[in-house]
Amino acid sequence: MSPTILVTGGAGFIGSHTCVALAAAGYAPLILDNLGNSDVRVLDRLARIIGTAPRFVEGDVRDRALLDRLFREEAISGVIHFAGLKAVGDSVADPITYYQNNVHGSFVLTEAMQAAGVRTLIFSSSATVYGDPDSSPIPESAALRPANPYGRSKLMVEDALRDLRRADPAWRIALLRYFNPVGAHESGLIGEHPQGKPNNLMPFVSQVAVGLRDKLSVHGGDYPTADGTGVRDYVHVMDLAEGHVAALRHAEKQPGLVTLNLGTGQGASVLDVVKAFERASGKTIAYEVGPRRPGDVPAYWGDPALAESLLGWRARRGLDQMCEDSWRWQQGNPTGYA
C-alpha cells in the first residue's frame, strides 16, 4: 500500500508537479484545494502523466471539520502544505486576507494534525523571508527580514512551527525556502497559468513568445549587475518537486525540524532569461527597458549546500531546460487548462 500524503494546494503550480514526483516515488497524493487559484482540469492532465488521477477533495485548509474528517477517514502519513496566497502586491493591498489564509490556514492545519497524531509536515516557505540580503549566495542562517505582508506571513508560520517543534519533539518538519520556481513538467501537460497579466518574469516572457503579449517590460536596467537587470535564482519546478520528496523521506527517517533553501545556487539576469527563452522557442522576445519595480531587490541567489548534504538533493535542470519546458507547456496550452 502506498503511503497517503495530504497535499494542500495540490492543484496549483508547484503542488501539481509535486504530485507527479510523489507518485513516481511510490506515494499516493491526496489533494485538498479550494481551487481559488487553480483549475480542476489539472486532474485529467495528472492522470495522463501518472496513470491515474490523484484523489481530490475540494475544500479549504481553514475548514477544521473537513480536516478532522480527512484525518479520520484516510490513513494520512504526512502533509505537504502548499495552500496559500502568493502575490506580493495583493498582500500589500489586502494584508489581513493574506494573514488569514497563510497564517491562520497553517494553524488550523497543524492543530488538526496534532489532534490526529500526524506529525510529518513539509511547509512551503519562500526566499522572500530573507528580504534584501546582505550578500549572495544566501545561507539559511542569513538574517530574516521580509519586506512585505506575504513574506511576513511565511516567517510567522516558520516561527510558529519552530515553537511547535520545541514544545513537542515528536514533530518532523521541513521548512523549504524556494527561490524562483519556473518551468513545467517535460510532458507539456501541466504548468503555470497565472490569471490575468502575469507579475512574474517567466510567464510574461512565455506569453510574449506565444503572441499573447506584445513585449516584455524589463523592470530596471541600471542595477549594479553585469548587464544592469535584476538577478534571481530560477529553479525548475520538477527539481523543486523532487526536493519535496527528498525532504519527506528525510522527515520520515528523523524527527526534528530542518530549514532548507531550494535553489540552484546560480543567478540569472532578466536578459539571460530572455536570451535562453529565445533559444528555446526560436522566437524573438521583444522587450523594452523601463523603470525599476518598487520594492525589487537588485540581485540574490541561494546557497543550496545544506539541502545537498542533508537530503542528497540538488537542482539538476538548467536555465535552458526551464525555458524549453515552459515553452512546450505555453505553446500547447496558450490559455492554460481551458
Site residues for ligand NAD per CB under 6 A: 8-9, 11-15, 33-38, 60-62, 82-86, 101, 105, 124, 126, 178, 180-181
CA–CA dist 28, 45 (Å, integer): 16
Binding site for ligand UDP (CB under 6 A): 180, 199-201, 204, 216-219, 230, 232, 270, 293, 296
CA–CA dist 326, 92 (Å, integer): 29
CB of 282 to ligand NAD, least distance (A): 27
Which of the following is catalytic: 150, 178, 234, 300?
150
Contacted entry of ligand NAD, ligand UDP, none for residue 178, CB cut-off 5 to 8 Å set by kind: ligand NAD
CB of 104 to ligand NAD, least distance (A): 9
Task: Tell me if 174 sits within 8 A of 258, measured CB to CB.
Answer: yes
Provide the strand spans (E) within the chain: 4-8, 28-33, 55-58, 76-81, 120-126, 172-178, 180-182, 216-219, 231-232, 234-236, 256-262, 268-269, 287-290
In 10 A of CB 199, how many CB atoms? 14
Between residues 165 and 232, which has the closer beta carbon with respect to ligand UDP?
232
CB of 305 to ligand UDP, least distance (A): 21
Task: Tell me if 21 sits within 8 A of 241, measured CB to CB.
Answer: yes
Between residues 180 and 330, which has the closer beta carbon with respect to ligand UDP?
180
Between residues 57 and 289, which has the closer beta carbon with respect to ligand NAD?
57
Among 241, 271, 236, CA closest to 23? 241
Instruction: For residue 287, indicate whether it is catalytic.
Output: no
CB of 108 to ligand UDP, least distance (A): 27
Q: At what angle do helices 270-281 and 201-209 cross, to 10 degrees?
A: 40
Between residues 12 and 221, which has the closer beta carbon with respect to ligand NAD?
12
DSSP assignment of 191-216 equals ----SSS--SHHHHHHHHHTTSSS-E
Contacted entry of ligand UDP, ligand NAD, none for residue 199, CB cut-off 5 to 8 Å set by kind: ligand UDP
Contacted entry of ligand NAD, ligand UDP, none for residue 250, CB cut-off 5 to 8 Å set by kind: none
- What is the set of active-site residues? 150
